[in-house]
Amino acid sequence: MSRIGRKGISIPKGVQVTISGSQVKIKGPLGEIERAFHPDMEISSESQSLSVRRKSDTKAQKALHGLTRALLQNMITGVVQGYSKELEIVGVGYRAEPRKRGILLSVGFSHGVFFTTPAGVKIEVPKPTSIIISGIDREQVGEIAAQIRRIRKPEPYKGKGICYAGERIHRKAGKTAK
């Protein structure tokens, strides 16, 4: 069996899990999340835990087994604690400003770039050079952080751009005069 897939998932107090076929709905203190899983995975709930079983031992089934369990665990953690990613803006004059439906990024272009906040995700700007993305869906939080970072990736010569908090940029040496 998959080492990850065979582990049980404990359901904390205050979390409700509804399973209907391959559709799983999890409701917790921070919100509600719903996802459809592969029909070959059998998800069952016993008292205060969830378990995932597979129908066969093919390579694809083994991979799906661990994936399904990990996704369920991420859903439960999301509705209980939530997820967040922090981005840093590096560069002279580079900044972010909160707006009604998103953020306005000034990152070296001739115009500001407006990024619209999607539903289910909260974007905060505690400092002009810091952005915090938070939500209950781990995939969505990571995808939004990647989309914002993609607006101005950190460049390798001066390190200017939008990067993840704590990300180390591999710096290159510039041209040298003879």
Distance, in Å, from the CA atom of 150 to the CA atom of 155, rounded to the nearest integer, reads: 11
Number of H helices, E strands in the chain: 2, 13
Query: In terms of residues, how long is the chain?
Result: 178
- Give pLDDT tens digits for 12-37: 999 999 999 889 999 999 999 999 99
Mean pLDDT, residues 173-178: 78
pTM: 0.88
| Pick from 66, 45, 36, 72: nearest CA to 54 | 66
- Give pLDDT tens digits for 8-17: 899 999 999 9
Dihedral Cα 126, 132, 136, 140, nearest 10 deg: 150
- Give pLDDT tens digits for 84-139: 999 999 999 999 999 999 999 999 999 999 999 999 999 999 999 999 999 999 99
Largest pairwise CA distance in the chain: 74
CA neighbours closer than 13 Å in the CB half-sphere of residue 127: 8
